[in-house]
A = this chain, B = another copy of it.
Amino acid sequence: MTAVAARKSGGISIPCTACPLRKLSRFREFNAEELAFVLELKRGELSVERGAAIVMEKSASPHLYTVLSGWGFRYKTLADGRRQILNYILPGDFVGLQTSVFEMMDHGIESLTEMLLCVFPRDRLLDVYRRCPSLGFDITWLAARQERLLDDNLLSVGRRTARERMAFIFLYFYRRAEEAGIVQGRKLRLPITQQQLADTLGLSLVHTNRTLGKLRATGSIRWTDGTMEIVDVDRLIAIAGSDFATDQVRPFI
């Protein structure tokens, strides 16, 4: 985790009209009005390196971000350092809403890879609702989706065994990467450490390692050199108890 957060690139090199993500069929299309408004709203791009603190815990941030590329995660820590990873952030995700609404972030955001983020000024948030109601609705949609992801994680951490939990989180990674269009075949880059996986699952590092060993032994997944591969989806679903639910079409700011 690098203390120095990020470097902000000077201007806008990727106009929304040529947004590489919008082309994915996964995202709903913008009409001309929406596109014009977002284009006008966008303040720039933020490029961060791996391991950067995008938002610090207990601090305010003047920005809202949409992820264009890369992986990150949201987390909270206790006073003695115990950490819980709350959710992962992938391309298409919208982050920073809590800052805009509560004046203070009570969770941190950190990058797992180099990331490219779209920057919007948070003080214009209310304008979004006034001038482009359909985008306001989209923001609510995205917030409700975050809530659903958290529901899943909470169920998992609270009620699934370590083995089920781990199978489920791999399904989560797979499905979310599919959504973001970064799965190649059955493989995807999974740029996390076992410590981070442990902090996600609510387990210790040691037990995470052992559980991972057993899960690998089932032959349903592989995960080496930062690349994970789903070998037997059905097997993995059977171990987890259920699949991770995704959406067909989603908004994207």
Contacts and interface: CB of A to CB of B under 8 A. Distances in A.
Contacts of A154: 76, 84, 86, 150, 153-154, 157
Interface in A33-54: none
Interface in A61-103: 74, 76, 78-80, 82-84, 86, 97-98, 101-102
Contacts of A78: 155, 159-160, 241-242
Contacts of A76: 151-152, 154-155
Nearest to A101: B144
Interface residues of A, number: 49
Nearest to A146: B147
B133 A101 contact: no
Contact of A143 (B83, B147, B247): B147
Interface in A105-143: 106-107, 125-126, 129-130, 133-134, 136-137, 139-141, 143
B126 A158 contact: no
A212 B113 CA distance: 43
5 contacts: A84-B155, A126-B134, A129-B129, A136-B137, A157-B202
Contacts of A152: 76
Given A125-B137, A136-B137, A242-B78, A158 B84 contact: yes
A95 to B, nearest CB: 11
Contact of A241 (B79, B102, B157): B79
Contact of A158 (B97, B143, B144, B157): B157
A107 B151 contact: yes
Contacts of A130: 133
A210 interface: no
